Structure 1
């Protein structure tokens, strides 16, 4: 039904099929008159699998993809829809993790967290349901306003802390190997398909430990192209180390 219907090949066809499936679910919810009683969340779990060429999608301006801790691997789209409750057309750059979904939905449903259990996520209900000053626009709030719930996010590979997002900064203690500029020419010459059966297998031990933390301002430099001088951000790094403790 969806084969060869898009201009992006099999990957684009799959996006069309997914879009159709989401539409069918939302249509059914509306037909059952449950639209204003249903919160719908659409969120990605990781970035594109760029190792498998055009089949894996594109990370756009972001560096890296699935299996890395660069923005291309961990920054994903998220859409929340709840007619009558969530303002329509709003855009937010608030720092939220998928780990926040469980405690947030539990609170919305009227439940309470088991206090004897430590949860990684934070309840971000106010951010999710609150009024949005940017309703109907594509304006992004000033970064200083966006860190009320999450000042910091930790990115681990097994027990190794690879990177930290602290406010507008991203600090890499370890970095992943990512496909070089010749990757597509060398591995994707079959009309955008992999020349071989490529499957991403990268162990945590393959990460490169940095002699000095690699710092980016991902608000101004989301592509993580221009590293900052660690000597000029010693106070910020000290605060990050305190948070890690």
Structure 2
């Protein structure tokens, strides 16, 4: 009968072996088996509202793949975009910083003289340094000049559009803007033009094909796959397979195709045997563009939408799936933001944090199921260039008097054309208790002066750090955006 060596006998044998090599036992340490770092897939939708998934209440269409992802992972119900507009939101996601700290605001247009500063370290750069293959397929919107494009910001591969696909000659409300032709970009080179809605109908499918191919080509090493879908931002377009298939019209068709895209990518992970070692995150960049009416999504009952500092602009869907690590079928109401993605993903992947200051917090413990922790309790609602419009601590939200966008009181548009809205509505100061008033309707400042005083202190910290255009203050810790080399 052959005896298997015991742990003690292996240790004794190792000591004798080391002695024969001229090493002492103190030089020898038994190392744990190597652990393969997890792959990371990050979906980032455009203008998808909190209520646009069937699991969060959507009507007249379904999102079965996303509903299944929620069932197999965790759905976070209190997740905020860093700012309720395209470029700013994306800068925050990739850097872990408030966008106004980086000098990024609004939605950068074609030929923008600024972009994300190459000195900022993105999540892609941190993971690439860790040995990850990095690929991005979709909308960039952080500067369309070559020096700002994804290959200069940590991505090995890129195929997508440089900015929102309504910034083109066929914009239904801005024909006078004279936008240049919109083209796909591969790497650093411009490719085919997206000339009309028939071309736009191929956007989701093309991005999906590229993402699936990236998984197949890099299945033997860790990878970071970033998929910022340009839709359901207007103009809406769905491929022939999905067009006309839902009772919700073109918006439902587009959401159904996006859900299909998620299903294709999750299916490829399973087919390649990567499913159990892949962290998948699904987020939107901000809330719905409500004045587009039947071509816009749903805020899920939260106040206002895209371009506002109310919850309808910031509160977005957030699903996380990682079999065996992230608890399945869980719903978490803990406050999290897009700022917190970078430090958390860096932690689970064994990557370092950026050398410059960031604003995100690490929530790995919560990710793995520890509901006793509260990683974040504060958030600053900045908008426009650098206006502090509200601060939050826990479930208290103090809104400061400010001019801003409102959709309320205006008839929404139809068939792809926007209805009116205003950017100069004067919002009064108010305190909201989001535990019982998530719609932000009831000002309770008079009942809770001590809460107002505490939130005012937090606001003063924000203004000293980041500045405040409303008060004409410059922050001590803001950085410059990238500027086109002269």
Deviations 1:141-176 (A, max 9, x none): xxxx67x22121001112210011211111111353
1:119 equivalent to 2:337? Answer: no
Deviations 1:177-236 (A, max 9, x none): 42234x23xx53xxx435x4569784xxx36363xx3111112111112221x2322211
Alpha-carbon distance change, 70 to 98 in structure 1, aligned in 2, over 3 angstroms: same
1:193 to 397, 415, 431: 415
For 2:299 and 2:286, how far apart are their aligned partners in 1?
A: 11
For 2:446 and 2:334, how far apart are their aligned partners in 1?
A: 28
Larger RCO (CA within 8 A; separation ≥ 6): 2
Matches within 5 A, 1:3-22: 3-22=243-262
Rg (Cα) greater in structure: 2
| Corresponding residue number in structure 2 for 1:99 | 339
2:313 to 61, 69, 73: 73
SS at match of 2:330: coil
How big is the shift at 1:127? 1.3
SS at match of 2:336: coil
Alpha-carbon distance change, 174 to 2 in structure 1, aligned in 2, over 3 angstroms: farther
Alpha-carbon distance change, 232 to 197 in structure 1, aligned in 2, over 3 angstroms: closer
| Corresponding residue number in structure 2 for 1:154 | 380
For 1:96 and 1:225, how far apart are their aligned partners in 2?
A: 23
SS at match of 1:162: strand
For 1:159 and 1:207, how far apart are their aligned partners in 2?
A: 18
How big is the shift at 1:44? 1.2
| Corresponding residue number in structure 2 for 1:32 | 272
2:393 to 143, 163, 166: 166
| Corresponding residue number in structure 2 for 1:139 | none
Deviations 1:54-91 (A, max 9, x none): 10112231110001111111101100000111111000
| Corresponding residue number in structure 1 for 2:369 | 130
Alpha-carbon distance change, 180 to 46 in structure 1, aligned in 2, over 3 angstroms: same
Mean Cα deviation higher: 171-180 or 38-47 = 171-180
| Corresponding residue number in structure 1 for 2:102 | none
Given that residues 244 and 253 in structure 2 are in contact (C-alpha distance below 8 angstroms), is that contact kept between their aligned partners in structure 1? yes
Given that residues 307 and 405 in structure 2 are in contact (C-alpha distance below 8 angstroms), is that contact kept between their aligned partners in structure 1? no
Given that residues 405 and 421 in structure 2 are in contact (C-alpha distance below 8 angstroms), is that contact kept between their aligned partners in structure 1? no
Deviations 1:82-137 (A, max 9, x none): 011111100001100001101110111001213x41102111111112246xxxxx
For 2:422 and 2:427, how far apart are their aligned partners in 1?
A: 19
For 2:440 and 2:418, how far apart are their aligned partners in 1?
A: 29
| Corresponding residue number in structure 2 for 1:178 | 406
Alpha-carbon distance change, 207 to 129 in structure 1, aligned in 2, over 3 angstroms: farther
Alpha-carbon distance change, 117 to 200 in structure 1, aligned in 2, over 3 angstroms: farther
SS at match of 1:108: helix
Matches within 5 A, 1:201-216: 202=423, 206=424, 208=426, 210=428, 213-216=429-432
Unpaired runs of 5+ residues, structure 2, are 1-240, 462-486
Alpha-carbon distance change, 209 to 3 in structure 1, aligned in 2, over 3 angstroms: closer
Given that residues 46 and 75 in structure 1 are in contact (C-alpha distance below 8 angstroms), is that contact kept between their aligned partners in structure 2? yes
TM-score by length of 1: 0.82
Given that residues 50 and 56 in structure 1 are in contact (C-alpha distance below 8 angstroms), is that contact kept between their aligned partners in structure 2? yes
Number of equivalences:
218
1:51 to 291, 296, 307: 291
Mean Cα deviation higher: 76-85 or 123-132 = 123-132
For 1:207 and 1:201, how far apart are their aligned partners in 2?
A: 6
